Amino acid sequence: MAEKPNSDNAAAEAAKITNICQLDASKAERHVWLMKCPPVVSRAMQNNHLPQPPPPPFSADGAKDPFSNSGPTVSKVIVSVDPLLPNNDFSSTQFTMELAGNAYGNIPKCYSMDMSTDFVPMSVFSESSQVEKLSVEGKIYHKFDMKPHNENIEDYAKLCRERTNKYMTKTRHTKFIDDNSGMHMRMRPMPGTVDSKPSGPTDKKKMPAKGSEMKRTRRDPEEMEKIVFKLFERQPNWTLKQLILETDQPEQFLKNMLKLLCVYNNKGTNQGTYELKPEYKRSEDK
């Protein structure tokens, strides 16, 4: 005989499901910023432990506002505006973010925030593990992309190169073999003797493809233009191999830059070299 279900337990389960399915949309129209930051900055913010700020204020309904000082202060945003422009004109507004505290090591502390309003409409959701309730915390009003400030661009490039070299370094492990009788080891023939092991198709090993010795990090296009112009001030013609050695940039990226700034000599005394387009040459070089 089947056991009769307990009405109290069934009611509790039904109430639990009802609470989970409810969505609090009272803050759906609140403006929220979305910031896309580099992984190294995100990890540094999560690992940085600063003193806890004062308790967050309470909203009108008595609940804590999750977006009002809900955690340690990890950074501050500086907004520079032109007071003569209308409030809805963001053409001259500049956003700068500075990391708080001194526990970030060699990570750049200052970043520029490029604002964008042309994106797919999005909203922010939160889930409370205590009361099992879903809430809409706001609508994405501005989207920001972080990049190191101009004064810190060299430090950030150095950090990226160090990170690339770290991931490219192969780790070696030492393994101790219990069977030290040498049964699985191939004996090398003595000098002057012939190896009696027959050679066949199975002995041929496929040679690994030779890859680049290191991965090169792309520079900013504007910075690369200045570097290319300085190189062509030194001499009027360069080969692609010479430019790769001078700039330490990926080959395809460098080719794309040269297509915009230079012409390739297919014949003549300078065959196989690049030179600046006439519009970029100085008057004394023309």
Residue 187: inside a domain, yes or no? no
Print burial letters for 136-147: b (CB count within 10 Å at least 16), e (below 16). Answer: bbbebebbbebb
Looking at the structure, tell me whether residues 149 and 53 fall in a common domain: yes
∠ at Cα 63 (61, 66), nearest 5°?
A: 130
Looking at the structure, tell me whether residues 128 and 256 fall in a common domain: no
Nearest to 66 by CA among 135, 148, 169: 135
Q: Please report how many Cα atoms fall inside a 13 Å half-sphere around the Cα of residue 203, on the Cβ side.
A: 4
Q: Which of 110, 128, 155 is the last residue of a domain?
A: 155
User: What is the DSSP code string of 45-66?
Assistant: HHH------SPPPB-TTS-B-T
Domain harbouring 248, CATH code: 1.10.10.10
Looking at the structure, tell me whether residues 262 and 129 fall in a common domain: no
Its domain, for residue 256, covers 221-280
Nearest to 113 by CA among 45, 34, 42, 39: 34
70: pLDDT strictly greater than 90? no
- pLDDT tens by residue, 123-162: 889 887 776 788 889 998 888 888 776 666 677 777 777 7
Residue 205: inside a domain, yes or no? no
What's the rounded Cα separation, in Å, for the pair 278 and 262? 9
Looking at the structure, tell me whether residues 134 and 267 fall in a common domain: no
pLDDT of residue 60: 45
| Distance from chain centroid for Cα 217 | 12
Q: Which of 124, 155, 186 is the last residue of a domain?
A: 155
Rounded to 10°, the helix 240-247/251-261 angle is: 110
Over residues 220-230, mean pLDDT: 91
Residue 197: inside a domain, yes or no? no
Alpha helices in the chain (DSSP H): 7-21, 39-47, 153-168, 221-234, 240-247, 251-261
pLDDT of residue 238: 94
Looking at the structure, tell me whether residues 24 and 114 fall in a common domain: yes
What's the rounded Cα separation, in Å, for the pair 180 and 217? 46
Work out whether the CA dihedral 102, 107, 113, 118 comes out positive or negative.
Answer: negative
| Burial of residue 210, with CB atoms counted within 10 A of its CB: 0-12 exposed, 13-18 middle, 19 or more buried | exposed
pLDDT of residue 169: 79
For 162-170, the CB contacts below 8 A with 24+ separation are 163/40, 164/214, 164/215, 164/217, 165/214, 168/214, 168/215
- Mean pLDDT, rounded, of the chain: 74
Q: Which residues contact 186 (CB under 8 A, 6 or more apart)?
A: none
- Give the residue, 41 or 16, on which the prediction is more confident: 41
- pLDDT tens by residue, 104-129: 667 777 888 888 877 788 888 988 77
Q: Which of 134, 155, 176 is the last residue of a domain?
A: 155
Looking at the structure, tell me whether residues 16 and 96 fall in a common domain: yes
Residue 189: inside a domain, yes or no? no
Q: Percent of the chain scored above 90 by pLDDT?
A: 18
- Give the residue, 87 or 11, on which the prediction is more confident: 87
The tokens 């039904």 sit on which residue? Answer: 14
Over residues 176-181, mean pLDDT: 69
> Residue 192: how many CB atoms within 10 A of its CB?
5
62: pLDDT strictly greater than 50? no
- pLDDT tens by residue, 12-38: 555 555 555 678 888 888 988 888 887
Q: pLDDT confidence of 265, banded at 50, 70, 90?
A: very high
Looking at the structure, tell me whether residues 233 and 148 fall in a common domain: no
> Residue 111: how many CB atoms within 10 A of its CB?
24
Q: Tell whether pTM > 0.75.
A: no
Residue 105: inside a domain, yes or no? yes
Residue 54: inside a domain, yes or no? yes
Q: Which residues contact 109 (CB under 8 A, 6 or more apart)?
A: 98, 99, 152
Backbone angles phi, psi at 255, to 5 degrees: -60, -40
Residue 231: inside a domain, yes or no? yes
Q: How many domains does the chain have?
A: 2
Residue 196: inside a domain, yes or no? no
247: pLDDT strictly greater than 80? yes
